Amino acid sequence: MALEIRPNCECCDRDLPPGSTAAFICTFECTFCRDCASDVLGFICPNCGGELVRRPIRPVAKLIENPPSTARVFRSSPCSSRA
């Protein structure tokens, strides 16, 4: 089972393409940009309380067989309540 590679930050809705080094995830794949993960959330997921770590980059050749998710998740309230 491959990571979903979600396309955006759940806090600010910033686009996070599959090759982005600015994407951070928890073990449930909640996804945040570097700015929200560090400045707003302190590298703690507001949904599960888990650690946020940099999302690995899937090799481009593997994206054909295992495409990234296109479903956007945007929940500004967990992020704004921690700001």
DSSP 53-67: EEPPPPPHHHHHHSP
Amino acid at 78: P
Q: What digits encode the pLDDT tens for the residues 44-74?
A: 999 999 999 999 999 999 999 999 999 999 9
Rounded-to-10 torsion of CA 29, 31, 35, 40 = -80
Q: CA quadruple 3, 48, 51, 42: dihedral positive or negative?
A: positive
Whose tokens are 């089972």? That residue is 1
Of 21-25, 38-42, 79-83, the least confident: 79-83
What SS3 state is found at 13?
coil
Q: Which pLDDT score, from 0 to 100, does residue 83 have? A: 45
For 1-83, CATH gives: 3.30.40
pTM: 0.89
